Structure 1
């Protein structure tokens, strides 16, 4: 396959609570697909509430680092492997994440909103008895709250993550419907020197679009945004580099001629 996107910068393994996959299985799949590089971005949501399925979103970072560095060496002649993390941003965790970024030599940090005032939209209870549009708005408002105090990340992850889980998904959702608050988010990110990601998880959730949607990605570019990473949000090998051909088409449509990868928190711009 003639790929133009050769890095998957959002990938999970069994170091993340919601993945059953050994890290080496993800690497082998990436090598099989002909990727030049991958970035593991294991979940860290330090105070994630108890879940019906008993998931624990804490992360043993020293063990994760040790295993990743070992596999970096094992596969150094086949693929580049970078050390990343996906931070579940919340306002009260800003100082904790700042200290964490000083302590560990991450290449890349995704800042994501998984919890909205203590509740994850992944679970249907978040939507019960409430208008879907109000839930979506509260989610976007929580991103702005996070951006008021959380600065220790490189790109904001799957900005419209919530749309994966609404009962109507994106049938009644569009950039235009939430334009004012989404523009505020994008302008804030640009002013902070932060990027966004094109997360192809939206395709395997049946949205027919990435997260965020094409309208948001186009608007980010119109506003002067330049930093955009590509990731499949894979938790199993079959989702590695998922729908990257569609991601390439989206970048073309939105005016990008490159995509971004990070090393030691510094962006590298790769041509499409």
Structure 2
């Protein structure tokens, strides 16, 4: 074993519509775990479809920033707290996201696909009456549409998020089945100098793999990808740093000796 992963760069608090966790509690838990730093990446998904729970994925960025800065200061002797955002990408939002990033000095920007042509695969309606493989393929095609419209994020989040929610999850899913389109996604990201993340959420969803799966991470490295961040996608304190020992092993297996942490939108590389 090499160095333990000491940064969790994907987490949510009650500023995100799908979390009730107080920010203080998330920070304290991370500090108690002995992490060096964390980055909050609150959800901002404008133009989000209606859901059974009527979730509102808008984000009060000034309030979020103010709270984070005051807590970062309060905890500064225990842990570093960075200011990030997870943008829910859709092509029609490209211009507004570009404007936002000119105005707000985030440390780290994740671009993620949550909504595919008006549907979030989190809800079963995305899969109703269709073959699972067609739903997965549409999801990956939408990633390419998103990158073509907007490429100002630092990393693309959980590239195979869709498999968390498929009727069979990842039982019939593999990198090999979707190799052609996944390679196109990875090559496009590398060309645009956008990294990927290893999101350990896949482990707490019972997939036995991170998102994206190990073979995608390996392929990203083979194609020359160097920027990879690590996050547990925690929405509750108990998920912070989840399965980070496995994540470190996966990265090493896939040929990485470093992981990235973004500060002021620039990657700082930490040895594994």
| Same fold, TM-score > 0.5, yes or no | yes
Native 8 Å contact 1:3 1:245 kept in 2: no
CA RMSD of aligned residues (A): 1.0
d(CA) in 1 for partners of 2:50, 2:38:
31
Q: Tell me, yes or no, if structure 1 residue 255 matches structure 2 residue 255.
A: yes
2:143–2:185: 8 Å Cα contact kept in structure 1?
yes
Deviating 4+ runs (over 3 angstroms): none
Q: TM-score, normalised by structure 2?
A: 0.99
Separation (CA, whole Å) in 1 of partners of 2:182 and 2:172: 16
1:31-110 matched pairs, under 5 angstroms: 31-110=31-110
Displacement of 1:234: 0.1
- Write the mapping of 1:136-151 to structure 2, written as runs, cut at 5 A: 136-151=136-151
- Give 3-state SS (helix, strand or coil) of 2:149's partner: coil
TM-aligned CA deviation for residue 149 of structure 1: 1.3
Question: How far apart, in 2, do the equivalents of 1:119 and 1:54 lie?
Answer: 14
- Consecutive unaligned residues of structure 2, counting only runs of 5 or more, are none
Matches within 5 A, 1:15-26: 15-26=15-26
Please list the CA deviations of residues 186-217 of structure 1 after superposition, one character each: whole Å capped at 9, or x if unmatched.
00000000100000000000000000000000
Measured after TM superposition, the shift of residue 3 of structure 1 is 5.8
Counterpart in the other structure of 2:238: 238
The CA distance in 1 between the partners of 2:21 and 2:3, in whole Å, is: 25
Point out where structure 1 has 5 or more consecutive residues left out of the alignment: none
TM-score by length of 1: 0.99
1:4 offset after TM fit, Å?
A: 1.3
Match of 2:120 in 1: 120
Separation in 2, partners of 1:54, 1:219: 38
Shift of 1:151: 1.5
Which digits, 9 at most, give the CA deviation of each residue in 1:2-49, with x for residues without a partner? 961000000000000000100000000000100000000000001111
Equivalence for 1:175: 175
